[in-house]
Chains A and B, each alone.
Chain A
Amino acid sequence: MIPVSIDTPPRGRPATGRRAFALRRGLGFVLSFAFLVLVTFLIVPLLPGDPARAVLGTRATPEAVAALRDRFGLDEPLPARLADYVGGLFHLDLGVSYRYGTSVSETIATKLPYTVTLTALAIVVVLMAGLPLGMTVGVLTRGGRRPRLGLAFGAIAGFMASVPGYVTGTLLIVIMSIWLDLLPPGGAMEPSSAILPVLSLALGPVFAVARVVRQETQNVITQDFMRTARGRRLKAVRLYTVHALPNLLTSTLTLCGLIISGMIGAAVVIESVFNYPGIGQEIVQAIIYKDYPVVQGIVLVLGLIAILVNLLIDTVLALLDPRTLGDRHV
């Protein structure tokens, strides 16, 4: 048997590497999802209070409470409820809302597009603004050039990245809606209603990404291949977009994966600030009224989205940089 050094690249054809990668990621997805199902089921019984009472209110009669508990199997033992829950998932059935008496899937289907719209647009804004901004500052301040710009950018970007979205949102409403009357301050009555929530979600991450991209840009442009490219008198645009950009994407996309997961959570707060009728607003109401199936369904769907986003980013990274197919990088 030949001992394999840790630094030795894995042998074998790329196809084998891809298969192993797919297998690993597939298995990881299944395990993550199973864990998510279990957690979403178990967190709900930890919520204090009786959902039947919460839904029916102060005038509830004992008969009405008993009927609702019976209808939704609230008196059944936990294992039986877990079995029902998992069994339902096999039929894509997320259960019935205690509060509305309609399917949870219907509730989610109504509200999810709003949240997805916000987060998708926010990610587009983050990539379209954060990448060029970070690269531009990285190039302009390379090798210690323009120290004042570097300092100013670092301070501003650090500050902006740390401002919570709800604060940004409130300021945007005051300035853009109330003072200048340029954009709607809330609701979803017109397509432009999404602009301020998207900006609130995206502004912090834009600067977070820009800071990372600036640092990566400064690292990449000192590499040998970039010196070679510059030596060939390539135009700046080609030099940075064709040669530097692909080498920045690994860290940028990894960061974006984390940002997207965070944005889904941030959207819950942002939707409240803007009265935006997304899934975040729905889960807040569901928690208040102990609408367990809706809470479970929303957490499950959002968790699944986060898992899929991470899987997608891993896949894109593997395609961009085949070295990440294996567990060990060259």
Chain B
Amino acid sequence: MRRSPTRRPLTALAAVATLTLLSSCTAGGQEAAGDTTATVTIDAPNSMDPRKALALPDFQLARLSYDTLVRRDDGGLVPGLADTWKATPTRVDFTLREGATCADGTAITARIVSDSINSFVKNGEASTLAAIFGGTRPTATAEGTSTVVVETDAPWAELAQAFSVAATGIVCPKGLADDKALAGGPVDGSASGPYTLTSFEKGVRYVYTLRDDYTTWPKWRTKLDGTPPKTVEYLVAPDPSATANMVMSGDLDLARIMPDSRTRFDGSPDVTLTSYPFGTFFLVFNERKGSPFADRTKRAAVARAVDRKALNQSALDGTGALGVTLANPGNTCVPKTNDSLIGQDPEAAARALDGVKIRILGAQVIGSGGAGNVYLQEVLRKAGAEVELDNVDIGTWVSKAFSQPNTWDLTIFPDLNFLGSLANTLPLFLGPDVLEGGPNLGGVHNPVTSDAFDQARADTDETSRCALYNKATDALIERADAVPLVTEQYIYAQREGFKVYMLGGSLDDHIFRITG
């Protein structure tokens, strides 16, 4: 519940006295929220059309209004709009839930679902499509009123899991009929999910209201406390320190905070913290000719120099989970331990790295202000290397890393794995070089990884598929093509009476509950 302005008498008085005239210039004028409203922070979204979702805030908004066929939970997929499903690497048959309706009351049929999926494949964000469908091109067909068949042109064993990603949310016919409006705001009747967007101010706030007629909640295995909020108010708040202030003062109910803000809530009776696995950090090397890391010995030396615990402490205030592979601990097929990891050995590292010139490209999202990159620079300097750090904002990092791969030798890759599978990460080390238009960022050539991944894509058995993914990943780790570091946590501050869940390692499925 966001506090009412009247809870601060001076506030009301001062506001009336000083701002009445000019407040009309801004949005202002929100009603005081009741105990059925959850006020939550979000970064600025790019689009409100789920098919165009590209970044986390886009996925978060899509999640409220557009239901996906399946959802992720601890232990695997659970029913969403689909009650049951039968999956092979080239085909999934989804049987729809009974009673699901669009916001205008239209029953959600197989035809509506298949049209939405085909529209996403045709008009969706290419980067998202490539990531979740593994480069394949799915086609959806309605069989009767309740069965949807999705087939791909090549094997992709993660096909069913792809339909847990918010971008695959089902858009009802009224939304599909008005593409432009869908991207810019609410379209009456377009929602298949529990909430409809009832008001918004672009880049400022987005208010979603629970549908009265919505009954088809996902069938979670995990027991969730409380009840869904009647209203979810997303406030765009990109500054995490300011966000923490707003939680402390009661102006926000649920908010992402940074690790170094945790101590501010120590002993607070009103706020509890909860955290879920989020971005995964691992080292990627430029293995092209001319880079010192074309030599496996030097890559392994970097792995030996890095103390993951120290990195976790310096970048994430010790909140991260030490990485054993290239995905977060909540993802499928992720092992608890890994014998393939190259152990720490500073002396051996110093012998191999003494005098080596290394250019690190760092994104400032690796800890506050890129603290993790600074740690990496210092630890390699200590090993005797001459290290140059280019610590830049995330936009510059992406463009430099992929467009100018020969301007750096080493980078900490901050991976957001929306698919929730190792299959989502491995292509970064496979196929054609980025210089040739492929996905292979470091110019890696690892035949074991390549073969294991190709086999895994077509493997129908989950156990053997996981074994193949791990074989592919371990081959990268052993050859020091990649070095797992840490998984950062998405830390939520929760005011008393509010809870948030992110189940099954999902990054985009933030489930809000009111418990008070």
Contact = CB atoms under 8 A, between A and B. Distances in A.
Contacts of B348: none
Contacts of B26: 113-114, 117, 188, 191, 194
A290 B251 contact: no
Nearest to B235: A187
A282 B400 CA distance: 23
Interface in A271-325: 272-275, 277, 281-282, 284-285, 287-290
Given A183-B14, A192-B11, A49 B400 contact: yes
B14 A181 contact: no
B99 interface: no
A121 B19 contact: yes
A198 B11 CA distance: 14
B448 interface: no
Contacts of A3: none
Nearest to B49: A101
A181 B8 contact: yes
Nearest to A106: B202
Contact of B183 (A52, A101, A181, A186): A101
A190 B28 contact: yes
Interface string A107-145: 100110110110011000000000000000000000000
Interface in A153-190: 173, 177-178, 181-190
Interface centre among B130, B242, B439 (most CB of A within 10 A): B242
A185 B126 contact: no
B14 A189 contact: no
A102 B183 CA distance: 9
Interface string B20-53: 1011011110100000000100001011000010
Contact of B396 (A48, A187, A189, A273): A48
B204 interface: yes
B355 interface: no
B399 A54 contact: yes
A13 interface: no
Interface centre among B238, B241, B243, B252 (most CB of A within 10 A): B238
A53 B237 CA distance: 24
Given A100-B46, A113-B25, A54 B396 contact: yes
| SS of A interface (majority) | helix
The size bracket of the interface on B is: 35 or more
A61 B126 contact: yes
Nearest to A192: B15
Contacts of A100: 46-47, 202
B23 A275 contact: no
A272 B240 CA distance: 9
A185 B27 contact: no
B30 A189 contact: yes
A255 interface: no
A192 B10 CA distance: 9
A195 B402 contact: no
22 contacts: A49-B399, A54-B395, A56-B127, A62-B437, A64-B127, A64-B130, A100-B46, A110-B204, A111-B203, A117-B25, A121-B19, A182-B8, A184-B246, A185-B245, A187-B246, A189-B251, A191-B23, A191-B28, A192-B11, A194-B26, A282-B203, A288-B395
A-B residue pairs, 6 tightest by C-beta? A49-B399, A54-B395, A192-B15, A64-B126, A62-B437, A185-B245
Given A120-B22, A183-B14, 12 more contacts: A60-B127, A102-B183, A107-B202, A113-B26, A184-B11, A185-B242, A185-B245, A188-B26, A189-B205, A191-B28, A192-B11, A195-B19
